[in-house]
Structure 1
């Protein structure tokens, strides 16, 4: 088994919010609330969950675009949590991010060549002539060419802009990339091309991915392991095939039942799990299991005690009192 490249221990990211100027007391939004996991060198860990569950906040906290409230981020044996800006700079070469909206994440006043060269300039990589050569190499890697260097982001399609976003992430020769829903804003036909590009780059460059997405079928295709998030918590974590074939957590079962099937005859026969009850808020969530108000299998213990993420089968962890009997 490959060694761990990244370890997250009890990571939390809380935001202070105020709904109006008349409220004196600030509320706390617990976007990421005590997540622990490991990502192995060379693997792709998929992270799925409904909107608002904290997936993007987790990704941004890992790369320290958000400062963690508490917990540890250990990258290749080094704890990044308390590093200052200058100390963190050397690690930013190794840890990069691909953002969800390729248009919003690219500077509209810069050419594509300048966008890709900027990280090299910040980290003093290569001389001026070498940077141009490196940009061409990276553009070819992501399926673009030298004619695109002098163009601006608005001159590209959504898929091409996302390729530019991938190219920028590769500019500093990273080892680990957080892919924050990199295909959700793209047409279905383009999504497959981007996924294939990411897989080819991983094979050529030995990259490690945290792949955040809504599309459960796409996550299964690209991921070695899959984690399921709900309201700031990790509720299930296992090998990709295991999660999709034998899910344990009731929330995972409901998510998988919602995957569309192209064959209408099979789709009509498939049992869909419709979640009822109130959708809880991540602002000061109540005690017990966070899924209790929507869970069809909830019982008395779920109302009082919050379940821990535990290994109930080999390489299969779940946070549910149905399996955590201890």
Structure 2
């Protein structure tokens, strides 16, 4: 895999700002479903993304990473909070009002097969967003589709094929070409490599970096693979049970980890060097994960934290800046 390049343009212009984003899902229970509970999938998430940079979002399955991405894309209408795209709040907009912004914000989905219509050819799949926004017609449309296929490493002969005729890596390339079809500025990458072989993962990540360098794209990169996130991201946010527990520049977070949960995650990353692997201690977490319906009054991680104090179980820690650019939600830092 290539080393992460430092040369592509990252400006100080804030492209996207998320403020106290909450996404609660209604859950009805009891006789005739009259009792209503709320699953707090995303519970007060805040961060900013500058133009041209990549923000990584990591955490366990079910922590709310993908729901955060879906909410930012307005595939879900947030319960509360703000999503400021170039200073305009799209969180409370109606589907009609948010429509023009969808052209600038696209998504690469986790499952490269389920996200593609099996009854449509690759040309139709890539051409659909072009048709929706009336960008090209006739021969120009066909040339644009061929250009997009070439951009993601596929040929003209692939245009007439169906998704089932491709490998997983090729299908994901089709998904990336579809995301690029409307010339977006911002792309949510929802675990785009988790369903691919390791060798293909490297190819896809390198391609995403090349596209970012050539097109000036901005990414929110959601993933489980902490080593891959370190490779591609400028900043990393760590989520636990719907909330951010730590956020910092990538190397700062990996070398000066503050939150106990982040430390546990990083300790589980496999080491390729046998000498380091033999001496490395994996921090095994014990205890129960709280319900996202009835979250505890104190720190959500207190039930599994080896350093928890009575205060941790009673008082919710503030997500605050501990040192310049490094944020954490923990009473112990």
Asked if Structure 1 and Structure 2 have the same fold, meaning a TM-score greater than 0.5 normalized by the shorter chain, the answer is yes
2:180 equivalent in structure 1: 170
CA distance in 1, matches of 2:278, 2:32: 51
Pairing 1:231-250 to 2, within 5 Å after superposition: 231-250=241-260
Provide the TM-score with structure 2 as the length reference: 0.95
Aligned positions, number = 323
1:128 equivalent in structure 2: 138
Q: Which moved more, 1:165-174 or 1:9-18?
A: 9-18
CA distance in 1, matches of 2:86, 2:34: 43
1:285 equivalent in structure 2: 295
1:115 matches 2:130 = no
Displacement after TM superposition at 1:267 (Å):
1.1
Displacement after TM superposition at 1:180 (Å):
0.2
Alignment match of 1:301 (pick from 296, 311, 325): 311
Query: What is the SS of the residue equivalent to 1:52?
Result: coil
Deviations 1:18-51 (A, max 9, x none): 4677654122100000111101100000000000
CA distance in 1, matches of 2:13, 2:303: 38
2:3 equivalent in structure 1: none
1:12 matches 2:22 = yes
Distance 1:19 1:161, change over 3 A: farther
Query: What is the SS of the residue equivalent to 1:26?
Result: strand
CA distance in 1, matches of 2:15, 2:222: 18
Query: What is the SS of the residue equivalent to 2:46?
Result: strand
2:325 equivalent in structure 1: 315
Unmatched segments (≥5 aa) in structure 1? none
2:232 equivalent in structure 1: 222
1:49 equivalent in structure 2: 59
Query: What is the SS of the residue equivalent to 2:150?
Result: helix
Alignment match of 2:266 (pick from 256, 261, 281): 256
Alignment match of 1:32 (pick from 42, 61, 64): 42
CA distance in 2, matches of 1:99, 1:65: 12
Provide the TM-score with structure 1 as the length reference: 0.97
1:94 equivalent in structure 2: 104
Unmatched segments (≥5 aa) in structure 2? 1-10
CA distance in 2, matches of 1:193, 1:13: 34
